[in-house]
Amino acid sequence: MTISSSTTSRGAGFSSAPRQGQRTANWRGALSRYGFVLPAMVFLAIFMLYPLLYTVNLSLFDVNAGNFLAGGAPFVGLDNYKEFIASPGFIPSLVVTLVFTVGSLMFQHAIGFMFALFFNRGFPLSALLRALMLVVWVLPAVVSASLWRWIFSGSYGLLNSSLGLFGISSSEPWLVNPNTALIAVIIANIWIGIPFHMMLIYAGLQGVPEQLYEAASLDGASAWKRFRHITVPMMQPVIIIALLLGFVHTFKVFDLIYVMTAGGPAGATNVLSIEVYKLSFEYFRFGDGAAAANVLLLIPLLLSALYLWLRKREESTQ
């Protein structure tokens, strides 16, 4: 009886050892996995989650220059949001933002698509030319804005000087005229965004099987038909992603417009991001500025959520 009990206990000890080793290995594996993502989680928490929560909290109080440091700002709930949406400048700035965003995005994507098709053909020095085009994208926005401000400036601007070479005398102050200022900043933003769309579309084109084009050519399909019935359908997910990312980025552009026009003249380029800046750092109405910033964030967020919902619904029906 004693032998049997001893044997059983030794057997239980031997059988529990592998289980304990397995638990230790699982614990170490989980620790290593979380250890790899921990720096990214800390970064997101400090530089994204905390500022977002702080801005949301700030928007619920009537914070101004007088009580910002001293404290004691009264709680107003959603009144800052209601006041901003009901303000006379909200609808005009929203319209200008949408015109700026859609106008920029259409030409950025179309021209970027054409460049992607051009580089996809393959030719000597194509990689070098693609790299040179990316310089436009990686340039600081302040540098690009200063360059285009010089181009569109009055009598001494590059544009007016170039028109003079063709016998066209022009001293048009493009950035001071309310009828041309918005067009000028849209052109500048188009120039900046073309390389981004080009690289996304070019990367997507690399995944389209060449056999499809060869089979279509053997069937007598023209270049336009191959583009319409092969390239566009195959590139649809990439196109949607490029447009969505382009919309989110363009909708919140601030530095380019601020350097070129500062929202003027007469509010012609006063986008929502400029309105947020004015409320916060010119009028020192920090609560109102935080509410305006959250509204600026909410619109692209809703668009992104709508896209993800439509994609999930489409995948579930397939």
- Of 193, 202, 194, nearest in space to 231 by CA: 202
What local confidence, expressed as pLDDT, does residue 53 receive? Answer: 93
pLDDT at 66: 86
CA 185, CA 17: separation in Å to the nearest integer?
Answer: 70
Please list the ranges in the chain whose pLDDT falls under 50: 1-14
Q: Give the containing element (helix H, strand E) for 215.
A: helix 210-218
Query: Contact 80/290 with Cβ under 8 angstroms?
Result: yes
pLDDT, tens only, 203-223: 999 989 989 988 998 888 898
The sign one gets for the Cα dihedral 38, 44, 47, 53 is negative
Q: How far apart are CA 88 and CA 164, in angstroms?
A: 41
Q: Which residue has the tokens 């021209």?
A: 111
pTM for this one?
0.85
**Number of Cα atoms under 13 Å in the Cβ half of residue 4:** 1
pLDDT of 18 reads: 64
- Predicted local distance difference test score (pLDDT) of residue 17: 58
Residue 201 pLDDT: 95
Q: Residue 178: CB partners within 8 Å, gap ≥ 6?
A: 265, 266, 268
Predicted pLDDT at 16: 57
The continuous run of DSSP H or E covering 237 comes out as helix 232-251
pLDDT of residue 124: 85
Q: Is the dihedral of CA 229, 230, 234, 236 positive or negative?
A: negative
- Please state the separation of Cα 71 from the chain's center in Å: 35
The topology under which CATH files domain 89-284 is: MetI-like fold (1.10.3720)
